[in-house]
Chain A
Amino acid sequence: EPEVTQTPSHQVTQMGQEVILRCVPISNHLYFYWYRQILGQKVEFLVSFYNNEISEKSEIFDDQFSVERPDGSNFTLKIRSTKLEDSAMYFCASTEDAGANVLTFGAGSRLTVL
């Protein structure tokens, strides 16, 4: 069964460092998403991406965050200068039909900022 692949599974970084989280969505999907979950809190929407541009972003997704689809397969989330409060599990998701809201999620990348 097709799956969304995320790397790394766990990254530890120092505050102020740049981090790139990578995702390989399902090949025929057109809509891509990043969500995050701080430990013990809700899974929060960060950003959606379609046709090589951001469709929607939350207020969490400030200037420190960016997304990119550098080639035909990868979908990346970059955090320019990490803060302690960026420590969370980051989930990538994709779908072929945004209206149905049936997303396929990756296993997540755990980011720990020290």
Chain B
Amino acid sequence: GNSVTQMEGPVTLSEEAFLTINCTYTATGYPSLFWYVQYPGEGLQLLLKATKADDKGSNKGFEATYRKETTSFHLEKGSVQVSDSAVYFCALSATNKLIFGTGTLLAVQP
């Protein structure tokens, strides 16, 4: 079946540190892959997506590359800010719905 596994949180970093949040998936076919972000008190928002192998999604300094060979879609950012503190969800598309991971809480300290 389809599933998403992402690294456990919380992840605590200092400002300007490098961020990686790991995400791997299991899927039949070739799903699109997504990262959604949830800031405190808000809904999940699309951060970036990639629709096919080797695509790189990017937004607000975040990047993730669709790696079919490793079934991964790791989220990276070169220099995090306090304002990046949020919960990050990896997801894949499957028959007109999204399959999510558990979410990873990122806390960035000044």
Known A41-B102, A101-B32, A101-B34; contact A33-B97, beta-carbon cutoff 8 A: yes
In the complex formed, the residue of A with least CB distance to B101 is: A42
In the complex, chain A residues whose CB is within 8 Å of the CB of B49: 102
Question: Number of contacting residues on A, CB 8 A?
Answer: 28
CB–CB A107/B100 < 8 A: no
> Quick check: is B108 within 8 A (CB to CB) of the other chain?
no
User: Does A45 lie within 8 Å of B97, measured CB to CB?
Assistant: yes
Is there an interface contact between B43 and A98, defined as CB atoms closer than 8 Å?
Answer: no
Chain B, 82-110, CB within 8 A of any chain A CB: 89, 91, 93, 95-103
Residues A45 and B44 in contact, CB atoms below 8 Å apart: no
Count the B residues whose beta carbon is within 8 Å of the partner chain — how many?
A: 24
Residues of B within 8 A of A56 (CB): 95-97
- Chain B nearest CB: distance from A114 CB in Å? 24
B46 touches A (CB below 8 Å): yes
Instruction: Please give, as numbers and ranges, the residues of chain A lying within 8 Å of B44 by CB-CB distance.
Output: 43, 91, 93, 103, 105
Main SS of the interface on chain B? strand
Contact between A42 and B102, CB atoms less than 8 A apart: yes
Alpha-carbon distance A107/B87, docked complex (angstroms): 13
Task: Report which residue of A3, A43, A91, A106 has the largest number of chain B beta carbons within 10 angstroms of its beta carbon.
Answer: A43
Cross-interface CB contact of A105 among B43, B95, B97, B99, cutoff 8 Å: B43
Are B41 and A107 closer than 8 Å at their CB atoms?
A: yes
Do residues B46 and A43 form an inter-chain contact, with CB atoms below 8 A?
no
Query: How far in angstroms is the closest Cβ of chain A from B98?
Result: 6
* Chain A residues with CB below 8 A from B38, complex form: 105
Known: A101-B97, A101-B98. 13 other contacts (CB 8 A): A31-B96, A41-B102, A42-B4, A43-B89, A43-B103, A45-B97, A45-B99, A91-B44, A93-B43, A93-B44, A104-B45, A105-B36, A106-B43
